[in-house]
Amino acid sequence: MSMMDTVIPFALLCFTSLFTITSPLSTMPVFLTMTQSLDEKERRAVAIRATLVACCALLLFVLAGQFLFKFFGISTNGFRIVGGIIIFRIGFDMLQAKYTPMNLRKEEIKEYANDVSVAPLGIPLLCGPGAIANAIVLMQEAYSFEMKTAVIVAIILVYLITFVLLRWAGVLVKFIGETGNNVMMRLMGLILMVIAVECFVSGAKPILADIVREGLSGICK
């Protein structure tokens, strides 16, 4: 089997798994709702900044993930739990249609755009604990330079596509109208809540299992 026979399937796995977990389509309603108070220029700037923040953060974790986790004493499971709580709150507000656009003064727009582009759009929506954990695992499984390069290229490609989707998200709003946007916001809010619960449970389960295991070992002693 040649190297290309191994690299190409691995590259496809990297792209499909990262795109699915990053889920830019489910982020579009959040992006549209949070940027309704901004003009087209500011909305484009938010899309650029959010995808850049997410891409750079994920590349940072991929290249130095294990070192950072060990250095700061952070566990992937703990990151999953916190990310799940944040995403659940956003999803709940969307489900209740409470995620309304803010009325901003002209001087507040730039500060608001900078804030939302980093959190929650960049992190944890576009670069959440699931994407980070998945990317780190993929990099660990990449045993050759070509496969490691495939992981990095897949990350960059996913966020390029994400930017294009966010950039033209306004066209979707005009197409589906206000009622369609509200329906999509509630539906995506429900999906976000499900993703958040899965994220929380996947992080809490190993921690609880360790606690139970330590408790049982203490009783046995």
Q: Give me the half-sphere count of Cα atoms (radius 13 Å) on the Cβ side of residue 26.
A: 24
Range of the domain at 66: 3-220
- What is the pTM assigned to this prediction? 0.69
Q: Looking at residue 46, which CATH number applies to its domain?
A: 1.20.1250
Instruction: Tell me the two tokens of residue 208.
Output: 């609880």
* pLDDT value for 101: 46
* pLDDT value for 154: 96
Pick 99 or 68 by higher pLDDT: 68
CA terminus-to-terminus distance, the chain? 52
Percent of the chain residues past pLDDT 90, beyond the cut: 20
| Digit-coded pLDDT (tens) for 64-95 | 876 877 788 877 788 778 778 877 877 787 77
37: left (phi over 0), alpha (psi -120 to 50) or beta: alpha
* pLDDT value for 104: 46
Indicate the number of domains in the chain: 1
Highest mean pLDDT among 19-23, 132-136, 152-156, 175-179: 152-156
Across 106-110, average pLDDT: 54
